[in-house]
Structure 1
Amino acid sequence: MRRILLCILVAVLIILLSSAAFANSGPTYWQGYPSAGMMAVDGNCPISLVGEDLVFDFSGWRGNDYTITGGVTATYRMVNPTGEAQSVQMAFPFVGSVGSLSADDVTITADGVALPYEVYIGDAVKSYANRDPQTREASLKFENIVNTITGQTYTAENFGKNEKGKLYTIHVEPTAGQAINFAVDFSFNREKTKILTGGFNRLEWDEHKVSIASWCREARLLEIFVLGEDINLRINAYTDGELTERTGLFSYRVEEDEKEVKTYLLEYVNKYGNAERLDMLSDVQLYNLYAKAFDEHLSRHMAIGSEHDIMAVGEQKRIITLVYTVDFPPESQKEVSVGFTAAGTMDSRETRKPLYSFEYILNPASNWAGFKDLNIEVIPPTAAPYVVESSIALAKGEDGVYRAFLDKLPEEDLFFTLYAFPRITLLDRAYGSLQRRFGYFTPIVLGAVLPLIVVAAAIGAVLKRKRRLSG
């Protein structure tokens, strides 16, 4: 009997400790970033905040993404106590990507009237998983955010914005209805020449030459932009991916033009980027973002780049700041509202269901001349209707909405976590531990383990009873 019990326990341990055969098909951790209140660009602004209503509305989320997203609206009642009119420039920073930037996600109004705004692109951020204020990334400090609000053009180390380069535009067309692998070979001195290609999807180089290629099934337009010492193009076409089977069943035409770096780079990003998203950015912001990406790529000893290298920065999470101006008549009050979309951090590494955490940086409000009366409202989604952790006490109403009122600005920023259950129990954490190990196979593992545990418990009870009777 004891041998049977030992075998059962060994089987349970083997199941629980053997995780190599299991894997998740989705993320167990999805990084979110903090939202922030607006701030005055001028630190000596006389405007006071006499009330703020902060509403997080996640009721529309239906679980169709890895993490909770929803609308956040911050409504500020602002007073100009002076006898003079004030035109106040304000900034609203958030973390997002240029590739997902949309005017539909942002609303800024003053007394119900929509305000125009400009978009400024800041530094990339890597992670905000550590909430310790002492270890936050410098890029998320507000004095650093303000420093990124600039109309100055980026100064590159490897080229000048007005430097002229030679643009080779290659018109390629297969002539027999068969796809070709169009290839261009050339040699160049990496110290004297910098190159940006467009439309190619293959790059190989050795100490003697560089080969770039692209499959063409129909007429294509390819580009090679050369800065510095010129290159000689050697053109061929192939029918295979290894570039060994040459073909003459194609036609091509090469056009040469001279263009300044800034002019070409703006044309380049509009051609290979999302034009609808990029329309929100000024030419200076566009150039700064992608010129810096190209410059840093070249500085990594990569003397040749492509749209795959340069345009990738559009998907990086970075500080994006909206700058707008509110005009206050003398001794007046205005209601300024900012609406945007926020995404939380999803973490399913420790619990049965995912935890969804949100942070809102309140401290920019300390830069105003005065602050009082903060109303907070959190409308959770049905999939995660409970606040299980919060830096500020949130009271749940009969309508399921969490609320708080503070008569002054709190010392710490707002942080709260949503969960599917009212509290996190030991069973939740135990299930989370199994899920971290076995992923979506956790229910199968539990189905296999629980009967063994029940049998082991029954055998243990029988053995205990026998010992008691024999004693």
Structure 2
Amino acid sequence: MKKMFSILLSTLLLLSPTTAFANSAQTYFQGITPTDVMVSGEEYPLLVHQSPIIVQHENLTFDIQEFPLEHYAEEADYLAYSGKVTAEYTFHNPADYDVRAKLAFPFGQTPDYGYSFNPDTDKRVYAPDAEKYDVLVDGKPIERRVRHTLFYRGEEFKLEKDLPRLMDSYLEDDFWNFDLPVTKYTWEISGIDAEFDAARLGFWWNGDASERKLLLMDQSGGNNSEEKLAVTRWVENGDEIELYVFGKPLEEELEWFSENGAEDTPFDYTLTPVSTETATYEDFVFADWEDNSTVLRHDWYNAVTQNLKNCEWDFGILNSFEYSGNLPADDLLRWYEYEIFIPAGGTIVNTVTAPIYPDANVRYEPPIYTYNYLLSPAKTWADFYAMSIVVRTPYYMTESSGDFSFQNGKDGYYLDYHGLPDGELTFTLSESAKPKAPGDFSVIGPVIMMASGVLIGVIAVKKLMKK
């Protein structure tokens, strides 16, 4: 029996400030060719064969009976929010071999109002909205688990970036590893004259990034000069300056400097060592992991490590105002992971439902809520026969994009297509048919958004068994 593996993508993308849902897309294939020869690409093993899967029909249903609140006092009220989107795919396998598929369905980050604070620990507690809906095959719930990958709020989903982050093992790196030494240096600053109301402290660095990397907490800026890099932070008397050194500990004192932010002039100060603490990188990464036990251990490690790698500057300086901390739960994309089986010549219906947290422009009266759906990625399937879109809502659809002319129905709006429509879908809902717009956007400023980036999609790793 010869085997080959493939990867398919179906994305529904919700991003701030422009909410976007994206349709199914086949992307690339990995595994063994029918001749048992591995064909390697620069980043992934690639196959020259296309997946046989056909989308006979997609039912896309937005069920929006309410808009989310800007704040929920109780977790139960947040979990009771009913806004959801359902993507129902009728997949057909016309080949003469079975297809066993491992799917990953990214369904978004936790919205700003999806957590509360534990008064005892002063840490965030995230509501379990990931458990609200099942993944179905032919109407029956199947086993699934929740996965997490690093995904910054507001960034654009890109297959070549986000798919490799979904790994079943720990991220391997030439520098970052479990046993990497981590040294935390703490100083206290004092003696700053009261007249300096914009005091800034920093140090110059031009070390070897392969030996150590430095993370100055609460960093405010940095610049290059004479083949060195300066990193700075605002300070007041009594502030504790924390510096993490990953790799070899410091071998000599740092080259500190001070400046008044308003005039760029130095000031007198005293920097007193408070403590030097040592640990391993494993200790550092998992310091807060127990409070987020819904995240798999290797998913957590990979997200923290990728986060640090992303914010590295020259000479091994890690930019702390781009670093989201050792608790990147706000910057975690959540995925449903599950398996399906399609026999040779067979057809299945795969249904995935997820909550949706739309962006809101609250400067309108009443506010408007925008939903986008990217259809073009679905062109990468072997074929796409038909699509139906339903927006079940009591609200008014105030506008929609391009040629998407929705028809009014008894419980909302609908349209049908043969094949895959051209262009992307955008529609806006409001409690009023004609919400009043703010007078001058250039004066008022940017749109106010209620929800941060959410990504929804399907990525499948298929095992094709040749008969």
> TM-score normalised by the shorter chain: which range applies?
0.5 to 0.7
Which residue of 2 is the match for residue 31 of structure 1?
17
Deviation of 1:40 after TM superposition, in Å, equals: 4.9
Q: Trace 1:222-241 onto structure 2 (pairs within 5 A).
A: 227-230=247-250
Which residue of 1 is the match for residue 418 of structure 2?
407
Counterpart of 2:57, as a letter, is G
**Whose helix fraction is larger, Structure 1's or Structure 2's?**
1
Deviation of 1:402 after TM superposition, in Å, equals: 0.7
Deviation of 1:123 after TM superposition, in Å, equals: 5.2
Distance in 2, matches of 1:117 and 1:407, equals 34
Of the three residues 173, 176, 186, the one matched with 1:160 is 176
Which residue of 1 is the match for residue 308 of structure 2?
294
Of the three residues 282, 285, 290, the one matched with 1:266 is 285
- 1:54-84 alpha-carbon deviations (Å, 9 max, x no partner): 1111103365469x98210111122223343
Distance in 2, matches of 1:95 and 1:377, equals 21
Distance in 1, matches of 2:24 and 2:134, equals 13
Distance in 1, matches of 2:62 and 2:19, equals 15
Of the three residues 108, 121, 130, the one matched with 1:103 is 130
1:368 maps to 2:388: no
- 1:103-141 alpha-carbon deviations (Å, 9 max, x no partner): 2366422132223246352554646xxxxxxxxxxx534
- 1:376-425 alpha-carbon deviations (Å, 9 max, x no partner): 1112355xx334224522111233x111121221112221111333347x
Counterpart of 1:368, as a letter, is W
Counterpart of 2:360, as a letter, is M
Q: Trace 1:385-424 onto structure 2 (pairs within 5 A).
A: 385-390=396-401, 391-399=403-411, 401-423=412-434
Look up the SS of the partner of 2:356 in the other structure.
strand
- 1:310-367 alpha-carbon deviations (Å, 9 max, x no partner): 4278266676655533111333221111111223333356x54433211122234333
- 1:2-56 alpha-carbon deviations (Å, 9 max, x no partner): xxxxxxxxxxxxxxxxxxxxxxxxxxx9724312334456552222222221111
Distance in 1, matches of 2:295 and 2:52, equals 31
Look up the SS of the partner of 2:426 in the other structure.
strand
Unaligned runs of 5+ in 2: 1-14, 30-49, 73-80, 115-125, 187-202, 223-229, 254-268, 446-467
Distance in 1, matches of 2:141 and 2:330, equals 32
Work out the number of aligned pairs and report it. 352
Which residue of 2 is the match for residue 240 of structure 1?
none
Q: Trace 1:246-261 onto structure 2 (pairs within 5 A).
A: 259=280, 261=281
Distance in 2, matches of 1:360 and 1:322, equals 20
- 1:174-195 alpha-carbon deviations (Å, 9 max, x no partner): xxxxxxxxxxxxx997726545
**Whose strand fraction is larger, Structure 1's or Structure 2's?**
2
Counterpart of 1:268, as a letter, is A
Distance in 2, matches of 1:51 and 1:344, equals 26
| Counterparts in 2 of 1:256 and 1:315: CA distance versus 1, 3 Å | closer
Look up the SS of the partner of 1:161 in the other structure.
coil
- 1:148-199 alpha-carbon deviations (Å, 9 max, x no partner): 4445754657x331553155799xxxxxxxxxxxxxxxx99772654569xx
| Counterparts in 2 of 1:368 and 1:295: CA distance versus 1, 3 Å | closer
Q: Percent identity?
A: 17
| Counterparts in 2 of 1:146 and 1:201: CA distance versus 1, 3 Å | closer
Of the three residues 360, 368, 386, the one matched with 1:346 is 360
- Answer whether contact 2:148 2:335 (CA < 8 A) is retained: yes
| Counterparts in 2 of 1:295 and 1:371: CA distance versus 1, 3 Å | closer
| Counterparts in 2 of 1:339 and 1:107: CA distance versus 1, 3 Å | same
Look up the SS of the partner of 1:54 in the other structure.
strand
Counterpart of 1:355, as a letter, is I
Look up the SS of the partner of 2:379 in the other structure.
helix
Which residue of 1 is the match for residue 325 of structure 2?
311
Which residue of 2 is the match for residue 53 of structure 1?
59
Counterpart of 2:400, as a letter, is E
Which residue of 1 is the match for residue 294 of structure 2?
279
| Counterparts in 2 of 1:212 and 1:112: CA distance versus 1, 3 Å | farther
- 1:244-290 alpha-carbon deviations (Å, 9 max, x no partner): 99xxxxxxx9897653x3x224323416xxx33x633451x322321
- Answer whether contact 2:219 2:319 (CA < 8 A) is retained: no
Counterpart of 2:62, as a letter, is F
Q: Trace 1:118-157 onto structure 2 (pairs within 5 A).
A: 119=147, 121=149, 124=152, 126=154, 139-142=156-159, 145-151=162-168, 153-154=170-171
1:112 maps to 2:127: no
- Answer whether contact 1:93 1:322 (CA < 8 A) is retained: yes
Q: CA RMSD in A?
A: 5.2
Which residue of 2 is the match for residue 378 of structure 1?
391
Distance in 2, matches of 1:364 and 1:203, equals 40
TM-score with structure 1 length normalisation?
0.57
Distance in 2, matches of 1:389 and 1:322, equals 30
Distance in 1, matches of 2:221 and 2:370, equals 44
- Answer whether contact 2:146 2:337 (CA < 8 A) is retained: yes
Which structure exhibits the higher relative contact order, with contacts defined as CA atoms closer than 8 Å and separated by 6 or more residues? 2
Distance in 2, matches of 1:335 and 1:432, equals 45
Look up the SS of the partner of 1:331 in the other structure.
coil
TM-score with structure 2 length normalisation?
0.57
Distance in 2, matches of 1:434 and 1:254, equals 53
Distance in 1, matches of 2:384 and 2:219, equals 57
Which residue of 1 is the match for residue 370 of structure 2?
357
Distance in 2, matches of 1:279 and 1:211, equals 36
